[in-house]
Amino acid sequence: MKKNKKGYFGQYGGRYVPETLIPALEELEREFRRLWKDREFKATFRALLKDYVGRPTPLYYASRLSEHLGGARIYLKREDLTHTGAHKINNALGQALLAKAMGKKRLIAETGAGQHGVATATGAAMVGLECEIYMGAEDVRRQALNVFRMQLLGARVTEVNAGSRTLKDAINEALRDWTTNVRNTHYVLGTVFGPHPYPTIVREFQSVIGKEARRQILKAERRLPDYLIACVGGGSNAMGLFSGFLKDEDVKMIGVEAGGKGIRSGLHAARFAGGSVGVFQGCRSYLLQDRNGNVLGTHSVSAGLDYASVGPEHAYLHDIKRVRYTYATDREALRAFEVLSKTEGIIPALESAHAVAEAIKLAPRLKKSAIIIVNLSGRGDKDVPQVARMKGYNVKL
Amino acid sequence: MNRIEEHLSKLKAQGRKAFIPYIMAGYPDVKTTEKVFSMLQDVGADVVELGVPFTDPLADGPVIQEAASVALKNGLTLKRVLSLLKSLRRSYSLPVVLMTYYNPVYKYGLSRFFRDASKAGVDGLIVPDLPPDEADELIEYSRKYRMATIFLAAPTSTDDRIRLVTERSTGFVYYVSITGITGSKIQITREMEKMIKKIKSYTEVPVCVGFGVKKPQEAKRIAEIADGVIVGSSIVKQMTGDLRKLRKYLRELRKAI
């Protein structure tokens, strides 16, 4: 993408962190640039994506869903089929290898839904590094199974009780840990957010999604899709998919934020619909904040989208109107969760269900020849107990 | 020269060291902030660091996080902190540095912020999440309004970083004593002494040390190697207790520095 100033996408991005971390970010940038060109590193990464993660993931034509909606042909990019069940592993594994190559002894990460925590714990176990995961107390409660999963993988899970006890507080705590242990620790940021170079590194590690999808759709349909749809929390699965098509001007792209209980209710995480430009946790981007510049609490049924800001490259793509950003409410996402389960036998993550919800709205309005690719960024097993509780089933977990 | 530069260079000429206490505006309440502010003037603080509460203080430890959260509940927005300072300015003249995260200032609007901060009597700024590389605009306004821009140097700072930080700092350079957050345990080591010497070799601007200074004995040792000592968390911790004890503690710190 076009950058005006180092680490910027238009006016968004930058490196707004305490001085203690700046040398570590400079080192990270340098080492990433070097290794991302290094044939051996790339070969190792590629081999692991194939044999360990299970890539390429299929691009699946969802015929029953398409027929059910009676419009466009919907393809699902099946990131839910990766090892650990979400796209997060692409980045976590890449950064684990990077950290190992940099001689770091310990990985730390934040996690919201728990998917990035699980992916980082997995990466740490695979390359043989210590691992500590920060997770908001509220998310620990919502995602109990993933907490145990991380522990099983040998990671220490630290519950964060500060602030709103969700993802943003987990990031604050991870940054505090990193500030303290920066000499031997690598911070595996889970999304295209934070101080430069993270938005770029994470996009590069996730770009495999878009590269594969582009090749796969050309093979299946002999043409490019009309629409790409992806959910946007921080925005890494969306950036991964979109980055493969940014130069294809006829491919329209839609990013779906968490509409929670609706924008007017104030209980949502729709940064473009309800936020303004601010500086938060390392970069300048759209932010849900009050008029005094304090960060607002967010709400979403999906822990992975429940965050007050959004990746700076998304902010840029929003402003230049390359990507259209919309939102799906909790209710719409829950409905999509069930529709996909029943029509295709695929239970999506609640995050990904937001993207499916947009496809449900869009597809019937399009011609039957139109093609949509939905990024099915993760599987929904982790969300089943929560959805069951919401529907009044008594599931003990 | 602004008030900080003037005062610190006077101290330097006299061979004395600066005592720089930190308090969080509006913690535990505005009344206590006012009382302690007057106490700081009485005991002979050289510069006061006035904290602006923020929802996500990522450079701060638990003590200041908690203080920020209480102060926010008390309604201490950046705007109110400025008007609090403005009213304090009627009775007190000691130099004040605002310690704030960047977003409240950014949201306020830099041009409006500097106008109001200058009227309120702010003498300098410490913005822990704004490294000098990102501070072009802030520096430009600061020079115009004759406010000091105090940047942080850290134990991890490379020579290039030290050069940049010292070039852009006015008033003083804030040396972060440890790799860590505010209120951590300080370790006064040879390495720290070497870093301070190195920073001083780059600049004439005084170098003051903070993060984790608690005991008067520690303050004394730091004052031997730096131009000033910043004490935050351990003062903030005592603001909810008996203020006579706090006064005694502040006097001990002053004596040690």
Query: Does the predicted interface ipTM exceed a cut of 0.90?
Result: yes
Q: How far is A16 from chain B, CA to nearest CA, in Å?
A: 5
Q: At what angle do helices B30-43 and B243-256 cross, to 10 degrees?
A: 30
Q: Quick check: A182 and B156 CB within 8 A?
A: yes
Q: What is the pLDDT of residues B72-125, one digit of tens each?
A: 999 999 999 999 999 999 999 999 999 999 999 999 999 999 999 999 999 999
Q: What is the pLDDT of residues B13-50, one digit of tens each?
A: 999 999 999 999 999 999 999 999 999 999 999 999 99
Helix (H, G, I), strand (E, B) or coil at A386: helix
Bridge-partner residues for B175, per DSSP?
B153, B209
Q: Which of A11, A20, A158, A187 best probes binding to B when mutated, by most B CB atoms within 10 angstroms?
A: A20
**Are A53 and A89 within 8 A, CB to CB?**
yes
User: What pLDDT shows up at residue A4?
Assistant: 57
User: What pLDDT shows up at residue A144?
Assistant: 84
Q: How far is B21 from chain A, CA to nearest CA, in Å?
A: 20
Fold of B3-7+18-250: TIM Barrel (3.20.20)
User: What pLDDT shows up at residue A397?
Assistant: 53
**Are A206 and A232 within 8 A, CB to CB?**
no
First to last CA, chain A: 44
How big is the CA angle at A123 (ends A121 and A129), to the nearest 5 degrees?
A: 80
Q: Quick check: A180 and B184 CB within 8 A?
A: yes
Q: How many residues does chain A have?
A: 397
Distance CA A188, CA A176 (A): 14
Contact residues, chain B, for A23 at CB < 8 Å: 156-158, 161
Contact residues, chain A, for B106 at CB < 8 Å: 278-279, 293
**B167 CB neighbour count, 10 Å cutoff:** 12
Q: Which of A6, A8, A16, A134 best probes binding to B when mutated, by most B CB atoms within 10 angstroms?
A: A16
Q: How far is A277 from chain B, CA to nearest CA, in Å?
A: 8
Residues of chain A scoring pLDDT < 50: 1-3
Contact residues, chain B, for A5 at CB < 8 Å: none
CA neighbor of A93 nearest in space, from A122, A121, A123: A123
Q: What are phi and psi of A136, to 5 degrees?
A: -60, 145
Distance CA A319, CA A15 (A): 20
Helix (H, G, I), strand (E, B) or coil at A228: strand
The pTM for the full model equals 0.96
CA neighbor of A101 nearest in space, from A17, A186, A161, A21: A186
For the four alpha carbons of A200, A201, A204 and A207, in that order, the dihedral sign comes to negative
Distance CA A360, CA A71 (A): 10
First to last CA, chain B: 24
Q: What is the pLDDT of residues B121-150, one digit of tens each?
A: 999 999 999 999 999 999 999 999 999 999
Q: Which amino acid is at A372?
A: I
CB of B181 less than 8 A from some CB of A:
yes
Tokens standing for residue B57: 């203080």
Using an 8 Å CB-CB cutoff, list residues of chain A that contact chain B.
Answer: 14-24, 26, 162-163, 168-169, 172, 175-176, 179-183, 276, 278-282, 287, 289, 291-295
Give the chain B residue nearest A275 (alpha carbons).
Answer: B107
Contact residues, chain B, for A169 at CB < 8 Å: 56
Q: Answer yes or no: is pLDDT of B188 > 70.
A: yes
